[in-house]
Structure 1
Amino acid sequence: MKLSVLDQSVALEGQGEDAAIRDTLALAEQAEALGYSRFWLSEHHGMPTIVGTAPEVLMAAVAARTRRIRIGSAGVMLPHYSALKVAEQFRVLEALAPGRIDLGVGRAPGSDMRFAQALNPLAHGAAEHFPEQVRDLQAWTSQPSHRGLSAHPLGAHAPELWILGSSDYGAQLAAHFGLPYAFAYFFMDGQGVERALELYRSLYRPSERHPRPQATVCVWALAADSAKEACHHALSREHWRMERQRGRLAALQDPDLVAAQGLRAEDQPALEAMRAKAFVGDPAEVATRLRALAAALELDELVINTWAWHPGVRQRSYALLAREFALEARAA
């Protein structure tokens, strides 16, 4: 089984937001050295926690620092933009890193509607045109000309287009266009994943580039040398999720501070439900659960998203999982 990475450039309390971007670059270099297959970057706007706002820019920096790993967006929120402009951006990226570019696109705004309106003054109702945008983007990234227009630069390789989603809608759209599909398992702790993948596979219409369905899911996972240590570092994200439910967003907090303050008693039911589905523990435990999920969903690739207040803890988690899955040996 292959493992890949989704990084969201998470801001850490006590550090500047710009440091999160540099942490992303360091992680990309490590992920390649460890044998991960892909390194994907998200797009969010107006958030004090997830500060990766321009995946296409960051992808260029990652391309300059790596040689083998595939680099992708997970994703570009297409209703904000012109499909032709996105095609041109990713053709430039393909020229920088031939045969290594993934173009993941989503329909969600990646923020609230105020930011959607600011990013695209014509944003009202733009999501309704998402299927047409995907059609045009698929053509401009795979054909020399579409609608009498060409997206340059042309080359021997073309970006690989993915549809991202966390509902049945994206699954059905990916199936209709014959495109790979990635389900955001970590959004809702896997709720709806079986149904989405069933729809995707049963409705799939083969395309020239993808004669068979190709699916993956992105999960949040954290491994440490001991289960106790992993659970401690997971407190940062647990605290963030509880605060988000109360409408409070902030940079990720130090788990030592979270542990000292304690989590609210009224949060315990939600925390217990979250922890029951979490991929948190020692390396063997996390790897066992990941393999079980992949087997249940009939997947040969998983994308791992990891948050930790200490960058070294996050890097250690990816290294431990790479060792459990023997990624380095296979890459070599």
Structure 2
Amino acid sequence: MKLSVLDQSVARAGVPEDQSIRDTVALAEHCEALGYERFWLSEHHSLPTIVGTAPEVLLAAIAARTRRIRIGSAGVMLPHYSSFKVAEQFRVLDALAPGRIDLGVGRAPGSDQRTSLLLNPDPRAAENFPRQVMELLAWLRGEDAAGHGIRALPTSATRPDVWMLGSSTYGAQLAAHLGLPYAFAHFITDGEGAQHSLDVYRTHFKPGVIDRPHAAICVWALAADTEEEAWALFASRERARMDRNQGRFGPLLPPGEAEREYTEAEQFPRRELRRKAMVGDARQVAQRLQALADELELDEIAVITWTWDPAAQRRSYELLAGAFQLVR
């Protein structure tokens, strides 16, 4: 099983937001040295918790600072954009890092409705998602998807690998129909619907861009040198999730400031969050990740980790790299 990384450039209380972008670049370099397969970036807009708004720009910086690791988007929210322009952007990225670029695409807005309309004034843009994906594939193959003698440049001997992302059966069905690799957003649903979506993907898969199904999930996990330390660090993530359930968004708080009184109504979701959380020392987290990979018959897992302290985040990835004996 391959092990990869997803990072979102999370905002942190008391730290300038632009520092999170620079920390993401540094983390990519660190994870390459540790032997991870790929490093992916998400796209969110006008969200106080996540400042990773332009993966295509950030990927260029990471391409210049890395040499081996695959880098990509998880994902570009395609309904916001022209598929032709996205093809051009990722063609340029592939020129900077030949054969290392992943173009993960999704249908979700990555924002609220008002922000989505600023990105694309068409309120029904998401309905065109399947057509956009097919156009995107054609542009990346060097074909004229518009039929007017237009090509997405620059051309080269390599091209980005397209992935379908999703948190429901919609993306799984489209990935199966087009013969694309598929990644399920386990960290968004806490695993709900993962097995069903992966079953749909494998059952309906038809050879297309790839010859056989390639299934991955993006899962939240946090390892530390001791289980006690890991749960103390988890307080930041726990507070962010519980606040989100109440419609409150803000930068990630330091563990020592993250504690608050939880209402009676919040106790059950809090217990469920802790029960499902992959938190502990390296052995404990690695065992749970491997068990999940076996249960879902995965080809790959991308791990996402939120901590207020970047050093704790880097240490978590170090510990998991050691536990899985990644080759440097």
Q: Same fold (TM over 0.5)?
A: yes
Classify the secondary structure of the residue corresponding to 1:12: coil
Q: How many residues align?
A: 326
Name the structure 2 match of 1:313.
312
**CA shift in 2, pair 1:108/1:249, >3 Å:** same
1:213-292 alignment to 2 at 5 Å? 213-259=213-259, 261-292=260-291
Per-residue displacement from partner, 1:253-300 (whole Å, max 9, x unpaired)? 0111124x4544542211111111111001000000000000111113
Quote the residue 1:170 is aligned against. 171
- The residue number in structure 2 matching 1:86 is 86
Question: Retained in 2: the 8 A contact 1:91–1:141?
Answer: yes
CA root-mean-square deviation: 1.0
Which residue in the other structure is 2:42 paired with? 42
Look up the equivalent residue of 2:315 and give its one-letter code: R
Conserved? CA contact 1:239–1:263, under 8 Å: no
Aligned to 1:184: 185
Report whether the alignment pairs 1:75 with 2:60: no
- Asked if residue 111 in structure 1 is aligned to residue 114 in structure 2, the reply is no
Rounded Cα–Cα distance in structure 1 between residues aligned with 2:316 and 2:118: 37
SS of match in other structure, 1:186: helix
| Contact map agreement 1:144 1:154 (CA 8 A) in 2 | no
Q: Deviations over 1:110-150 (max 9, x none)?
A: 0011001111122x100000000000001111234333321
Q: Which amino acid aligns with 1:161?
A: V
Provide structure 1 residue ranges, at least 5 long, that are not aligned to the other structure: none
CA distance in 1, matches of 2:197, 2:204: 11
2:171 is the alignment partner of 1:153: no
| Rounded Cα–Cα distance in structure 2 between residues aligned with 1:2 and 1:179 | 17
Report deviation, 1:204.
Answer: 0.5
What residue ranges of structure 2 are gaps of 5+ in the alignment?
Answer: none
- CA–CA separation in structure 2 for the residues paired with 1:268 and 1:33: 40
* Residue of structure 2 in register with 1:293 after alignment: 292
CA contact (8 A) 2:214 2:299 kept: no
Q: Distance in 2 between matches of 1:98 and 1:144?
A: 19
**TM-score between both structures, scaled by the size of structure 1:** 0.96
1:31 has 2:38 as partner: no
1:133 aligns with 2:116: no
Partners of 2:152 and 2:320 in 1: how far apart?
39
Partner AA of 1:292 in structure 2:
A
